[in-house]
Amino acid sequence: MFYIGCHLSASAGFLAMGQTALSINANTFQFFTRNPRGGSAKAMDPADAAALMTLCRENDFGPLLAHAPYTLNACSKDASIRDFAYRTFTDDLARLEYLPGSLYNFHPGSHVGQGTEVGIAQITDILNRVLFPEQKTTVLLETMAGKGSEVGGQFTELRQIIDGVTLSDKLGVCLDTCHVHDAGYDIVNDLDGVLAEFDRIIGLDRLRAIHINDSKNPFESHKDRHEKIGEGSIGLSAMTRLINHPALRHLPFYLETPNDEAGYAAEIKLLRSVYHDC
Ligand code: FE
Ligand code: FE
Ligand code: ZN
């Protein structure tokens, strides 16, 4: 089964997102748990969440991917921002119990001058306080472009975070194609090599989701600006190899490209046309 979807606005509610996904031939999607640049979250509507779960079951959806707000920085130098990250994380994980089996993706954070080691220690500290044994959500660390003081631009940094977390069976990784390309992992000319390195350092069993984005910037630019599929420095043939790769083809793919709904529908159609059934 090819699980392909895109980022959708959560403003009309859970069931509405499922219906939008169906209307653009998606069979999964990503959404923000709350205002991506702020912190406020709508009140949880358990009936709406249950209706979405039914829609997903009836239409063989892949796992839903909830994305933490960009303002969540678990390794800020500012203790009040780290506290906001802790409270947001805790609240999001509690709410996601209404969407059992979902994935929760977050950017590990930016250490803002404290150094990578301190950053990693602060991220593992928050994870050790928010994860709980009964949770039905898998928390994903996103691979980052290595912009500024971002943690997570190197596979080794994600490995160090995972190693510091007690309930590490609740953790996985979301690989963002734009980010890894910008970070200097050559998925265009050496996808096998990149995946072998991922497997050696993190383990491919941790890889649970792919953000499928082209990049506006050249290889190793450390920029993080997403481009439409086939229109950036990664290109459609590399994307085609990626979605069909034996180590990746079973994973859910989520578009975060600069598109409206019609643009996403066209990209989903394009990717479905180049995915090999076997
Ligand atoms: Fe992200
Ligand atoms: Fe992403
Ligand atoms: Zn990005």
The gap from C-alpha 102 to its chain's centroid, in whole angstroms, comes to 12
CA pair distance 133, 87, nearest whole angstrom: 18
272 among known catalytic residues: no
Is it the case that residue 16 has pLDDT exceeding 90? yes
**For the chain, percent of residues with pLDDT exceeding 90:** 96
Catalytic residue among 34, 95, 107, 208: 107
**For the chain, percent of residues with pLDDT exceeding 70:** 100
264 among known catalytic residues: no
224 among known catalytic residues: yes
Tell me the per-residue pLDDT of 206-216, one tens digit each, with 9 for 90 and over. 999 999 999 99
Per-residue pLDDT at 113: 95
CA pair distance 17, 147, nearest whole angstrom: 31
Per-residue pLDDT at 132: 98
Is it the case that residue 278 has pLDDT exceeding 90? no
70 among known catalytic residues: yes
Per-residue pLDDT at 98: 98
Q: Rounded to 5, what percent of the chain is helix, strand, coil?
A: 40, 15, 45
What is the 211 CA–ligand 3 centroid distance (Å)? 9
The helix or strand, by DSSP H or E, that contains position 211, with its residue range, turns out to be: strand 207-212
Can you give the pTM of this predicted structure? 0.98
What is the 7 CA–ligand 2 centroid distance (Å)? 10
Cβ–Cβ < 8 Å for 252, 28: yes
Name the nearest CA neighbour of 36 among 86, 128, 105: 105
Q: Taking the CA atoms of the chain, what radius of gyration do you get in angstroms?
A: 18
Confidence grade of residue 42 (pLDDT, cut at 50, 70, 90): confident
